[in-house]
Amino acid sequence: EVEDTAFRHDLLKGMRYGLAGRRNLSAPPSWKKVSAKLGQSLDAGVREEVRLLGLAFGDEAAIKAMRAKVMNAKAPVEERRRALNVLVEKKADGLAGDLKFLLDDNALRLDALRGMAVFGGNDVPGLVLARYANLNDAEKRETVQMLVSRPTYAGALLEALARGIIPRSEVSVFAARQILGFNDEKLNASLREAWGELRPTAVNKKPLFERYRKLLTLENLKKANLSNGRLIFTRTCAACHKLYGEGGQIAPDITGSDRATLDYLLENVLDPNAAIGKDYQLNVVTTKDGRAVSGIISAENDNSLTVQSLTERVVLSKDDLASRKILPVSMMPEGIFLALKDEEVRDLVAYLAGTEQVPLPKEQE
C-alpha cells in the first residue's frame, strides 16, 4: 500500500533476490491483485520488477512479456539482459530456441552463451564453434568456459583445438584443469594431444624457481614487450585479478601488491597452493543434468548456491545439484607459466612489474 516508488522498487527487487534459486513457487493469494496494480505504475523500474518477480511465481503472462522483451532489439539492452538472465535462471520453457537465435545478437551474445551452458543441447557446440572466429575476446573466453562445462562439449572443444579452429593460447590452464576433472581417459588423451600435458608441479619446486629466476633477469626483462604482456595478462589473469582498475573481482586486486618483487611473484604463481585462504578454495558443483561449475562460493542459503566462476556469477537451485566438492587447491591453478612460451612469461612479468598502464597491441585495441 506504500506509495513511495523507490521503496516499492527496492522491496520488489529484494523479494526477487530472496527467491533466487527456488523452484515451483506458488504466488501469494494477493499477487494477482498486487501485480495488476503495480504493473500500471508510472515508474518503468517498478513495472519491470513486477514482471521479473512474476517469473519466480511461474506467471505465464510475465514469462511471455519477458521473452518478448528479450527478443525486441529496440528495447533497452540492460532491461533485455536482466529479463534474459531471470528467464535462464527459471529455465523458462521455449527459451532454448531463443538463445540460439540470440547468438547472432551482438548485444546479448555473451548472455546467450551463458544461458546455453544451462540449457545444454547436442547441437550447442556446433552452433558456437561455427561462429568462434568472429567472436570478441570476452565471448571467446565465455565459449571456452561453456564448452568445458560438460564432458560431451569438452570433446567438441578438443576436436576444434586439434583442427585449429580454437588456438591453444585461448584455452586456459583453468579450462584444461576442468577437463581433467571429468576423469575421462579419452578426454585426457585428447587434451594431451591437442593442448599438452598439465602435470602437477613437483613437490620440490626449487628447480622450477631457479629456472624462472635465470629467465627473468633484469637484463632480459628490459627486452620485454609490455603491450604483449598486457595482452597475456588479459587472456590469462584478468578474469580473476584486477590491475589498474580493470579485470575481475574473484581474486585479490594486485594493483597495490608487491608484484615488482620477483620472488613474491614467483611464489604466488608457481606455488599458489602453499597457503590457500578459505575464501579462495576451488569448489566444483555438478548439476543433475551433467553440467559442472567451478569457482568460489560467494553466497549460500537453504535454497540456492551462488558460484563465482571464471566468467560469471551462477545461482544454482540446491534441488538441481548432484554433487558438490571442495578441493584442497586454490582457485588459481598451477602451471600458468608452463603453459606459456618463455618470451610470453618475460613479457607478462615485465608488465606486472610496471608502475603504469600500457596500451594493448594495436591489432587488439
What are the phi and psi torsion angles at 294 (to 5°)? Answer: -115, 140
Contacts 24+ apart (CB under 8 A), 2-6: 5/41, 5/42, 5/43, 5/46
Band the pLDDT of 229: cuts 50, 70, 90: very high
In this structure, of 39-43, 128-132, 288-292, the range with the lowest mean pLDDT score is: 39-43
CB 88 within 8 A of CB 63: no
Alpha-carbon torsion (131, 134, 137, 139), positive or negative:
negative
- Percentage helix, strand, coil for the chain under 3-state DSSP, each rounded to 5: 50, 10, 40
| 68 burial level (CB within 10 Å; 0-12, 13-18, 19+) | exposed
The one-letter amino acid at 61: A
* pLDDT single digits (tens) 286-328: 999 999 999 889 888 888 899 988 888 888 889 899 999 988 7
Band the pLDDT of 116: cuts 50, 70, 90: very high
What count of other Cβ atoms lies within 10 Å of the Cβ of residue 148?
Answer: 28
Read off the C-alpha cell for 81: 539482459
H/E segment holding residue 179: helix 173-180
What's the gap between Cα 285 and its chain centre? 14
CA dist 62 → 30, 58, 100, 196 (Å): 16, 8, 21, 48
Residue 200 pLDDT > 70, yes or no?
no
CA dist 277 → 31, 117, 142, 270, 314 (Å): 44, 29, 26, 17, 21
What secondary structure does DSSP assign to 147-178, as a single string? HTSSHHHHHHHHHHHHTTSS-GGGS-HHHHHH
Closest CA to 224 of 129, 54, 344: 344
Average of per-residue pLDDT across 216-241: 92
